[in-house]
Structure 1
């Protein structure tokens, strides 16, 4: 059993705290910290009501290494579960190195002043973590995270060569708002409005935002339009999966969401460049974030399901193989269990499982690693036990043949 410090009290932090509390045999002591301690106290109260466990809370500015170091030394955890903002990954990693604790996050570092996310900044910490005898596990959410593990599982059990990999992310949930995002609006809008990219024949091919569309019939959700985006798990998978000829990421969006997004872009509300307004400087996308519903408030009103999975085409023993592995999650079931909607749930549960893998020693090795670099089997077994059961089937689905 181990003590953990969770940093971040949004929807994902809520789920991680609930799930750690449910697994007392692994997580002996749980601390939850964020800039706003009242959010932590609210989650602690909810968890206590459901599980009877005490969650310790604290205030911390995750942009400040000094504040983080002070709190870590007070708590003395085995590891940090970082579910704060991607902008804060590096300060938290610095604090972990200074205090000698292990690290886990769910999203790779992104600079505050540039709409760009990649692993290079965090991979640069490898040698320091190795020398310190510490482990950093990157991207232990769903995508990235579970999708990486799905790929590793396929590679281990079903394929000699994985030629074509398509990652499909569908949120069929309805929250009733004209426009809202299911996680941090600033991160979400920056991700969606950036140029797309896919990996083919050893090269990255850039696309315009929403340039490529396919219609896919998702089990228990129905037909949805999905669009080609760049997503961070492809960066590490392109390195760690050997011999992949092409890898793409697809995400579903409704017409209303895209229309609102188009308007925001046309009038500059998605900009990260500061402007002057009535004598003070504001960042348009941060102003927009303040106008939109808090993703953590969507749980009670979101109905429907998510369906996220990976389709792989390749060979086994010289014969063609095509398989589809996926998870379906119900928003209202997630809310009943953790007071959070399905998008937070599908990120928070894998964060807890990643921490469990490290604490139990299934995944423990000094350095900085992505999810697919470890044995997928214990993680896959834990998904079935912890609320994210998966289906692994042969398929004749050809993504390229789907209607546009």
Structure 2
């Protein structure tokens, strides 16, 4: 997996010529985070200047270490270098190097880490008045300790190694022994909170700060669907996007 849109945008012209529509990022982030930004631009802002996408999972699944979705993708995403956009340039940081406490509604303050997330590429392109765009995600210290150990002992590697005459990829082996994300929901408690914090010039010409977000309860999500809130907030937007596509509401040729 490439955690960027450029290699998919390379197909844009071919999709346009074929009259085909490809939708990139239709979960929550990316997905709803882009819709929130577009909504803010349409209804509240004359110009957007800063965008911070903030993603907090304040839930507890009772496991020593587990990822909320595909461990291979999750661990690779977290351990890559951070990147954010400022004044027309992309600035790179060390993995989880930049962090600070942010306060989330109904949850309170949580240490939040700057990461690279692919929707930043699309948002600064489509909303060119944005001067700075960043993505933040929360992690507990126990989670980060396990992650450091996984890296230090080589289990986050994605290159093949030989074991008993068989070629294996350490991260894929780790995925096989970690808890299955689909089975975390039953005892999951707490909430997720994901949103966009935007500042700029409002429709009235005055400085404006705007925060649009969603909170989702793990237990309520499980009662409704049998899945925890991370899966719920990913799946509902994907289903909604598919419905809009098949109804012809989202059907512009291109990528």
TM-score exceeds 0.5: yes
| Aligned pairs (5 A) from 1:228-239 | 228-239=114-125
Aligned equivalents of 1:186, 1:174: Cα separation in 2: 21
| Aligned pairs (5 A) from 1:32-181 | 110=1, 116-181=2-67
Aligned to 1:275: 161
Aligned to 1:333: 220
Aligned equivalents of 1:208, 1:244: Cα separation in 2: 23
TM-score of the pair, normalised by structure 1: 0.62
What displacement does 1:121 show? 2.0
Aligned equivalents of 1:359, 1:119: Cα separation in 2: 23
Aligned to 1:184: 70
Per-residue CA deviations over 1:369-400 (Å, capped at 9, x if unaligned) read: xxxxxxxxxxxxxxxxxxxxxxxxxxxxxxxx
Aligned residues: 254
What displacement does 1:237 show? 0.8
Aligned to 1:67: none
What RMSD over aligned residues (CA atoms) do the two structures have, in Å?
A: 1.0
Which secondary structure state, in structure 2, belongs to the residue aligned with residue 189 of structure 1?
helix
Aligned 8 A contact 2:219 2:228 in 1: yes
Aligned equivalents of 2:128, 2:6: Cα separation in 1: 20
Aligned 8 A contact 2:70 2:181 in 1: yes
Q: Which has the larger radius of gyration?
A: 1
What displacement does 1:294 show? 0.7
Which secondary structure state, in structure 1, belongs to the residue aligned with residue 172 of structure 2?
helix
Aligned equivalents of 1:221, 1:300: Cα separation in 2: 21
Aligned to 1:363: 250
Verify: 1:352 aligned to 2:239, yes or no: yes
| Aligned pairs (5 A) from 1:244-255 | 244-255=130-141
Which secondary structure state, in structure 1, belongs to the residue aligned with residue 23 of structure 2?
strand
What displacement does 1:274 show? 1.0
2:107 to 210, 216, 221: 221
- Gap runs ≥5 in structure 1: 1-109, 111-115, 369-404
Which secondary structure state, in structure 2, belongs to the residue aligned with residue 174 of structure 1?
coil
| Aligned pairs (5 A) from 1:303-318 | 303-316=189-202, 317-318=204-205
1:261 to 120, 125, 147: 147
What displacement does 1:360 show? 2.2
TM-score of the pair, normalised by structure 2: 0.97
Deviates more, 1:190-199 or 1:297-306: 297-306
What displacement does 1:318 show? 2.6
Aligned equivalents of 1:145, 1:279: Cα separation in 2: 43
What displacement does 1:224 show? 1.1
What displacement does 1:238 show? 1.6
Per-residue CA deviations over 1:265-321 (Å, capped at 9, x if unaligned) read: 111110111111111111111111111001011111211110000000100233100
Aligned 8 A contact 2:3 2:117 in 1: no
- Gap runs ≥5 in structure 2: none
Aligned equivalents of 2:33, 2:90: Cα separation in 1: 20
Deviates more, 1:329-338 or 1:352-361: 352-361
Per-residue CA deviations over 1:201-229 (Å, capped at 9, x if unaligned) read: 01100000111111122112222111000
Aligned to 1:44: none
Which secondary structure state, in structure 2, belongs to the residue aligned with residue 181 of structure 1?
coil
Which secondary structure state, in structure 1, belongs to the residue aligned with residue 45 of structure 2?
coil
Aligned to 1:206: 92
